[in-house]
Amino acid sequence: MKKQLLALLCAAFSAGGTLFAAGPFDPTQWPSVANPDKAAHFVVVDGSLAPLGPLWSSSLTILSGGDQTTTPITLRGLQGLKAENPHINTADSGFTEWADNDTIDILMQVYGDGAVLGTDGLPRNYPFLIGTLPELAAPSGGQIPVAGQNRKWNWVLFRIPNPTRASDGSRLVGSIPANALGAFTFGGVNGGTIRAQGAQGLIVRAIAFGEQGAFGEPSDYANFEPADACDPEPQTNHAFVDFVNSTANHLEVFNNGDQTTEITADAGSFDDQRRAVRALGSLMNFGIKDNYLGVTCNDPRTVKVCVEFYDDPALAGARFGPEAYATDAAGGIGFFDAARRYTLRGSGEWKRISWIVPAVSLFGVNVAPLTGGPRLAFENGQPFISRYDIAILRVAPHPLAGQDPLADCYTDPEICTEAYGNYAEMDLATGVLDGLAPGNSGGDQNMIQAEAGPADDLRMAIRPALDDGAAGFGHQYLNLAITGEVFGPSTQPNARLAICMTYYDDPALAGQSFRPEVYQSDRNGVAGLAFTPGSIAVVLEGTDRWREAYFELPDMKFLGVNQGPQAAARFFVSGKIFFSRVRYAVIRPCGPFANVNRLAGCKPVTLGIAHVSAGSTVKLTWPGEAEGWTLESTDNLSSPNWQPVAQLPVLTLNQWTVSLSTATAPRFFRLKK
């Protein structure tokens, strides 16, 4: 019996498998349970791992861009890529290898921070999108245990089925069907082969696809190195040093090494002199005392720094901003994009400016024994700084999650002036193109311009082509171009954008809808795609009139989606709906245009909701200036379906009083403009 058990154990190990969980595995080597005799395709960010056998190929590429953007990061001395958007898409140039595999194993090396778990701190499913449009599937590959949040590099293994398509019986991964749509060169969506869904924030160093068993079994990956002991994040998020008032909150400026500084009592203009500091060289650095914002082993967080500085006329053209920062407690260094440094205008005024830097470790750069954030660098001159603030943008479940103590410090102070406009208009009926114009017609957003509208009010208008393509994928997008940087440069912070669209409420299209669907937004210092909920869509009622629809997007970057050089949102339009006029207005948070909405008149307004019992009569009277209001009714306020009252589709100047009976059921009425 003992000999049989020993033989069984030997056979199991010689085959590359185990009877028990074999991890944790060395992140600098392939897992010991990997099988060199099975097919595997892989990519390692730093290229440090070689194929294990003749069927192993380095044919994978991790894509970046759109909603699958990744950025480089170094943690514990190893290079990785961080998913800044919802997905990680991997292209396999040898994807046809998997055409006969009913199961695919996906091996990944991930960094064990909070992104490996759900927002509640518990394990979550990892779905993988496979197939080509319009035939897709997103099977779950499994979960990462709580122990995987250990602030170390971990090998993890997922396993997904590779089912067949209804259209031709081929497998979703490994072949391209005749009905494929979109960027399907490598047998998947958006240029890839297999896409990890909902992976925002996940940091990967290696990805491999393999036939079942190529990397062992998922149960082999249940053990992880324990996390190093670390104090929890403190219930703080803000430190500062105020040179004007000689006060500080756990922050100090350095004056040593290559980051020497001097403090003067009379910096600035004659009528506004202040105590301030300036760098004597090209660098300035600040240290956080008493571990006030956390310790070096805490997870890297998004950091916001705010600098109050003198915009010296003698330094016009000089530039400054964040430079180097720590990425982990093991000495990893990241560098902030130098192109995002601020250029002095030479206004002779004291200004405030901020930068948002993602994934910053408090280990700092040249700050020991203190902790720190990003270091400042200066080009062609060193302006005086009267105050410096640093804030940690906490995440759930921290009690300060979602708070920004520097919310009134902006990444572009010019938005608080009259330097940038706040209105743009495209009116095809009158030929007005004031900062807004039809976008490029092509790709998946072909557009048509023609006359449309009721017989007595025809206007030139634009609509998506909506070709007779596959269901749901036939040019259903409307895209417009912002011209002349009417709202200012794309580098400005997220803008609150109001949109007013004049559309033809075509009776033949009643029930069709439209909305601004996707746009770019800066989330925690990284610009990426943002999507609106379907609930904001405007649904056509078929009144045979030109009507107005209002939308408001709170966090718009003018980078555009499939449209440049500047654009706002791309609109999804379910039918051949015509638009004759589109207007944009930026609602500024500060300065002379603070909270001014030039499209306020387009915003829907509701006056009163009246409840009327069954069988009773309601009598409405309104003043002469009530033109443009619509009377609507519904029978359920919990889930209202407001509909125009058939007897009175539009309230006009010459209609002063109306009486309506509610038939057999109680109803609710409202006036809406």
What is the pLDDT, as a whole number, of residue 454? 97
Q: In the predicted model, is pLDDT for residue 17 greater than 90?
A: no
Q: Name the phi and psi angles at 64, rounded to 5.
A: -150, 140
What is the pLDDT, as a whole number, of residue 170? 97
CA–CA dist 486, 345 (Å, integer) = 20
Tokens matching residue 197? 């869904």
Cis amide leading into 24 (omega within 30): yes
**Average pLDDT of 654-671?**
54
Label each residue of 28-95 as H, E or C.
CCCCCCCCCCCCEEEEECCCCCCCCCCCEECCEEECCCHHHCEEEEEECCEEEEEECCCCEEEEECCH
Helix (H) or strand (E) holding 10: helix 2-14
Q: Residues 95-131: pLDDT tens digits?
A: 999 999 999 999 999 999 989 999 788 999 999 999 9
Of the pLDDT bands very low, low, confident and very high (cuts 50, 70, 90), residue 75 is confident
What is the pLDDT, as a whole number, of residue 128? 98
**Average pLDDT of 535-563?**
94
Q: Name the phi and psi angles at 291, rounded to 5.
A: 50, 40
* Amino acid letter, 125: N
Helix (H) or strand (E) holding 377: strand 376-379
Nearest CA among 197, 207, 154 for reference residue 24: 154
What is the pLDDT, as a whole number, of residue 653? 37
- The single residue listed with the structure tokens 């998004």 is 302
Of the pLDDT bands very low, low, confident and very high (cuts 50, 70, 90), residue 462 is very high
Label each residue of 617-637 as H, E or C.
EEEEECCHHHCCCEEEEECCC
Residues 277 and 384 sit within 8 Å (Cβ to Cβ) = yes
Topology of domain 2-221, CATH: Jelly Rolls (2.60.120)
* Amino acid letter, 525: G
Residues 288 and 390 sit within 8 Å (Cβ to Cβ) = yes
Residues in the chain: 673
The answer to whether the pTM exceeds 0.75 is yes
Nearest CA among 518, 546, 538 for reference residue 428: 546
Of the pLDDT bands very low, low, confident and very high (cuts 50, 70, 90), residue 632 is confident
Q: Residues 492-529: pLDDT tens digits?
A: 999 999 999 999 999 999 999 999 999 999 887 878 88
CA–CA dist 609, 626 (Å, integer) = 16
Domain 423-602, classified CATH 2.60.120, yes or no: yes
* Domain residue extents for the chain: 2-221, 238-409, 423-602, 606-672
Of the pLDDT bands very low, low, confident and very high (cuts 50, 70, 90), residue 606 is low
DSSP 664: T
Q: In the predicted model, is pLDDT for residue 7 greater than 50?
A: no
* Amino acid letter, 353: I
**Average pLDDT of 413-428?**
96
- CA 6-9-13 angle, to 5 degrees, is 140
Of the pLDDT bands very low, low, confident and very high (cuts 50, 70, 90), residue 331 is confident
Q: Write the DSSP assignment of 503-521 as a string of letters.
A: EE--GGGTT-EEEEEEEEE
Q: In the predicted model, is pLDDT for residue 430 greater than 90?
A: yes
Of the pLDDT bands very low, low, confident and very high (cuts 50, 70, 90), residue 162 is very high
Of residues 111 and 396, more confidence is placed in 111
- The single residue listed with the structure tokens 């991890």 is 23
What are the E-state strand segments in 441-506?
A: 447-452, 459-464, 477-478, 480-482, 495-504
Give whichever of 70-84, 571-585, 625-639 has the largest mean pLDDT.
Answer: 571-585
What is the pLDDT, as a whole number, of residue 521? 92
What is the pLDDT, as a whole number, of residue 167? 95
CATH class assigned to 238-409: mainly beta
Cis amide leading into 666 (omega within 30): no
Cis amide leading into 397 (omega within 30): yes
Q: In the predicted model, is pLDDT for residue 187 greater than 90?
A: yes
Name which of 83-97, 405-419, 488-502, 645-659 the model is least confident about: 645-659
Of the pLDDT bands very low, low, confident and very high (cuts 50, 70, 90), residue 640 is confident
CA–CA dist 169, 661 (Å, integer) = 59
Domains 238-409 and 423-602 belong to one CATH topology: yes
Q: In the predicted model, is pLDDT for residue 356 greater than 60?
A: yes
**Average pLDDT of 338-367?**
95
What is the pLDDT, as a whole number, of residue 661? 52
Q: In the predicted model, is pLDDT for residue 667 greater than 90?
A: no
Residues 223 and 146 sit within 8 Å (Cβ to Cβ) = no
Of the pLDDT bands very low, low, confident and very high (cuts 50, 70, 90), residue 665 is low
Percentage with pLDDT > 70 across the chain: 87
What are the E-state strand segments in 78-227?
A: 78-83, 88-92, 103-111, 128-132, 135-137, 153-161, 194-196, 203-211
Q: Name the phi and psi angles at 62, rounded to 5.
A: -85, 120
What is the pLDDT, as a whole number, of residue 618? 53
Name which of 327-331, 415-419, 547-551 the model is least confident about: 327-331
Tokens matching residue 247? 């006060």
Question: Alpha carbon of 96 to those of 35, 92, 187, 536: distances in Å?
Answer: 21, 9, 8, 41
Tokens matching residue 531? 């999507």
- The single residue listed with the structure tokens 């895209």 is 479
What is the pLDDT, as a whole number, of residue 22? 77
Q: Residues 241-265: pLDDT tens digits?
A: 999 999 999 999 999 999 999 999 9
Q: In the predicted model, is pLDDT for residue 3 greater than 80?
A: no
Of the pLDDT bands very low, low, confident and very high (cuts 50, 70, 90), residue 8 is very low
Across all residues in the chain, what is the average pLDDT? Answer: 89
